[in-house]
Amino acid sequence: MNDTSQIRRGRNRSRLVLVGVVIVLLLLITGLRLLFRTSLDTLIQQGQTQLALGDNDEALRLAEELLNREPQHIAGLILAGDACFALNEFDRALSYYRRVPEASSAEAVYARFRCGRIEFHHVGDVAAAEASFRTALRYEPENRNGLQQLVSLLGIQARAREAAPLILRLFRQGFFQADFHGLLESSDAALFNLEELKRYQQVTPDH
């Protein structure tokens, strides 16, 4: 009996040692992976650098690597959107920008303005574009580019009365554009010709 008990204890010790070795190895491997794994901040910095250098494909690759690890990383979503925009992949860019939650942060407002720009100029969905511009302007009411975009959008739909207060805000910033001034002269004025207006009105996008 004593010999049998000793053998069993020996086997148990061996198993415990083996388990301990496996655990140590797993911890060691995990630690090494974490040590050599590129940080999220580094990926963002590298991606932004590549985007600035014009290597949009590499910027997008880095952004997607980051998003695979943290899908709702705000800076990563914006980097991916900017890279796709630079590659003229507007639908794809829009999908990234739309994943940025609405908020008052500069990044969130930027994403809403970019959504509006794509929806207006590349998709032709004026209703979605108007909603995006108005959301962004709620947080940055004096954003000149946003005001210009919304005035243009209202102008092609001959909504001069709605555009007028926005135009006055631009004028107070020292921005003057002859087409915008024309919208103040008549409530029926429009910025573009009828064909341009119809092109936007007839769009039925799947977005």
165 compared with 196, residue with greater pLDDT: 165
Residue type, 137: L
When the pLDDT of each residue in the chain is averaged and rounded to a whole number, the result is 82
pTM above 0.85, yes or no: no
Average pLDDT over residues 45-67: 95
Q: Say if residues 158 and 189 touch (Cβ distance below 8 Å).
A: yes
Q: Say if residues 87 and 60 touch (Cβ distance below 8 Å).
A: yes
Among 36-45, 75-84, 167-176, the range scoring the smallest mean pLDDT is: 36-45
176 falls in which pLDDT band (50, 70, 90)?
A: confident
| pLDDT exceeds 90 at position 82 | yes
Query: pLDDT over 90 for what percent of the chain?
Result: 55
Q: Nearest to residue 19, comparing CAs of 30, 7, 11, 29?
A: 11
**Distance (Å, rounded) from C-alpha 93 to C-alpha 51?**
14
Q: What is the structure's pLDDT at 3?
A: 57
Residue type, 62: L
165 compared with 199, residue with greater pLDDT: 165
**Distance (Å, rounded) from C-alpha 66 to C-alpha 7?**
52
Phi, psi of 55 (to 5 degrees): -90, 80
Average pLDDT over residues 13-17: 65
| pLDDT exceeds 90 at position 110 | yes
199 falls in which pLDDT band (50, 70, 90)?
A: very low
Q: What is the structure's pLDDT at 40?
A: 85
